[in-house]
Amino acid sequence: MIVRHLDKAISGHFAKYKEVLVVLGARQVGKTTIVKRIFPKAHYLIVDNEPIRSALEHYDPAVYLQLLSAASDYVVIDEIHRLSDPGRAAKIFFDQLPQYKLIITGSSAFNIKNKASESLAGRKIDYSLYPLSLSEYLVQSGLEEGLSLRPIEQLVSGEKPRSIFKKYDKGAILDNLLVYGLYPAMQTHPGDATYLTSLIDSVVFKDLVELSLLENRSAALSLLKLLAYQIGSLVNYAELGSGLGIGAKTVKRYIELFEQSFIIFTVRPYSLRKRDEITKMPKVYFYDVGLRNALINNFEPVKSRGDAGQLFENFVVAELWKYNCYGNFGYTFNYWRTKGGSEVDLVLSREGKKKIAVEIKSQAQRVNQAFLARYPEAKMAVVTKDNYWV
Burial class of residue 37, CB neighbours in 10 A (0-12, 13-18, 19+): middle
Q: What is the mean pLDDT of the chain?
A: 90
- With a cut of 70, say whether residue 110 has pLDDT above it: no
CA-based nearest residue to 346, from 274, 265, 263, 276: 265
Please say if the pLDDT value at position 113 is more than 60: no
Find, among 334, 342, 300, 338, the residue nearest to 317 by Cα: 334
DSSP secondary structure, 328-370, as one string: T--PEEEEEEBTTS-EEEEEEE-TTS--EEEEE-SS------H
DSSP 124: E
Least Cα distance to 34 among 104, 113, 89 occurs for: 104
- The proportion of the chain whose per-residue pLDDT surpasses 90, expressed as a percent, equals 68
Residue 115 has pLDDT above 60, yes or no: no
- State yes or no: pLDDT of 312 exceeds 50: yes
Q: How far is 234 from 296, CA to CA, in rounded Å?
A: 19
Report whether pLDDT(114) > 70.
no
**pLDDT tens digits along 118-177:** 567 789 999 999 999 999 999 999 999 999 999 999 999 887 766 666 778 889 999 999
pLDDT recorded at residue 163? 62
SS3 assignment for 288-327: CHHHHHHHCCCCCCHHHCCCHHHHHHHHHHHHHHHHHHHC
Q: What is the pLDDT of residue 116?
A: 45
Average the pLDDT over 213-229 and give the result.
Answer: 90
Q: Taking the domain 7-128, which CATH number applies? A: 3.40.50.300
Most confident of 100-109, 265-274, 286-295, 364-373: 286-295
Q: Give tens-digit pLDDT for 354-369.
A: 999 999 987 777 777 8
How far, in Å, CA of 253 to CA of 310, rounded? 25
276-291 pLDDT per residue, tens: 777 889 999 999 999 9
Give the residue from 268, 258, 219 showing the smallest Cα distance to 240: 219
Count the residues in the chain.
390
Q: What is the pLDDT of residues 181-208, one digit of tens each?
A: 999 999 888 888 998 998 887 777 777 7
Res 369: pLDDT: 85
3-state secondary structure of 140: helix
pLDDT band at 274 (very low <50, low <70, confident <90, very high): confident
Domain boundaries, the chain: 7-128, 134-383
What distance in Å separates the CA atoms of residue 242 and residue 253, rounded to the nearest whole number?
A: 15
